[in-house]
């Protein structure tokens, strides 16, 4: 009787153990098959492409507009997945970005982008007399005013210098009018740090000092700045028209 009982208990334990193993194995196998099936349904994401383009590239996912032009930026490491990339002509970029709140230029490069776009707007009337079209200068100034209104360019004094030069050229015969306009533009800027703002404004706050600076800027006899601006305009036009 005792032997039969031990045999029965042994058989019961083996049966329960086997059933447990079978259950665990079945459960594990089920998960494994489900995982494999799930993986098979998900298409692999395309590898990002490092862009180098003379056109601008819009990341349709983020709305960021890049300009990975090899002559503008030495390092063109804009990794945008191909299915999120859309090309945009450079000469159309400013108007499209300004009209679409979802689009914005790459923050770290927007200063240089705006500068080239603004310079490319300027029309040279006569390279011999170093004269520029006033209307086109005004368009250029408007682009630059938008540029410095962005927090990332608030301390970009290269842009402010260009604005000041263009305002002076636009008001060649009236330095005081030019000075007032420049002070107004700079006063409305979002410069972080009052000291930086004050130091730069002080350069144009003194009338006599400004008149000297203004005279050098608009001078046609030597035309040092006019020649420099002409070269910059031609260079930017070449870059923006390559597309």
Query: Strand locations in 31-92, DSSP E?
Result: 49-51, 56-59, 64-66, 78-80, 85-88
In tens, the pLDDT along 134-160 reads: 999 999 999 999 998 888 888 888 999
Does residue 50 contact residue 71 with C-beta atoms inside 8 Å? no
**Look-up: residue for tokens 């402010």?**
160
**For residue 214, pLDDT beyond 70:** yes
Name the strand (E) or helix (H) holding 138.
helix 134-149
CA distance 84 to 68: 16
How many of the other CB atoms lie within 10 Å of CB of 206?
12
**For residue 115, pLDDT beyond 90:** yes
Domain layout of the chain by residue ranges:
49-241
Q: What value does the CA radius of gyration of the chain take, rounded to a whole number of Å? A: 33
**239, two tokens:** 């870059």
Mean pLDDT of the chain: 79
Name the strand (E) or helix (H) holding 105.
strand 104-105
Please give the model's pTM, rounded to 2 decimal places.
Answer: 0.74
In tens, the pLDDT along 49-63 reads: 666 788 888 999 999
């Amino acid at each position: 009787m005792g032997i039969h009982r031990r045999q029965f208990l042994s058989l019961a334990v083996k049966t329960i153990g086997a059933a447990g193993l079978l259950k665990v194995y079945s459960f594990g196998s089920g998960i494994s098959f489900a995982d494999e099936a799930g993986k098979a349904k998900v298409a692999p994401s395309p590898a990002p492409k490092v862009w180098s383009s003379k056109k601008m590239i819009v990341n349709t996912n983020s709305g960021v507009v890049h300009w990975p032009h090899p002559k503008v930026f030495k390092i063109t490491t804009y990794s945008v997945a191909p299915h999120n990339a859309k090309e945009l002509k450079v000469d159309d970029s400013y108007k499209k970005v300004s009209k679409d709140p979802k689009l914005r230029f790459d923050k770290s490069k927007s200063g240089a982008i705006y500068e080239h776009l603004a310079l490319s707007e300027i029309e040279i009337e006569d390279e011999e007399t170093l004269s520029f079209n006033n209307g086109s200068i005004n368009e250029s100034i408007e682009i630059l005013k938008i540029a410095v209104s962005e927090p990332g360019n608030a301390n970009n004094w290269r842009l402010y210098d260009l604005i000041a030069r263009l305002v002076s050229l636009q008001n060649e015969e009236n330095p005081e009018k030019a000075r007032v306009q420049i002070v107004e533009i700079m006063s409305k800027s979002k410069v972080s740090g009052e000291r930086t703002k004050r130091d730069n404004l002080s350069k144009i706050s003194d009338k006599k000092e400004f008149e000297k600076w203004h005279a050098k800027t608009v001078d046609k006899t030597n035309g040092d700045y006019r020649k420099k601006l002409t070269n910059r305009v031609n260079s930017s036009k070449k870059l923006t028209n390559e597309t």
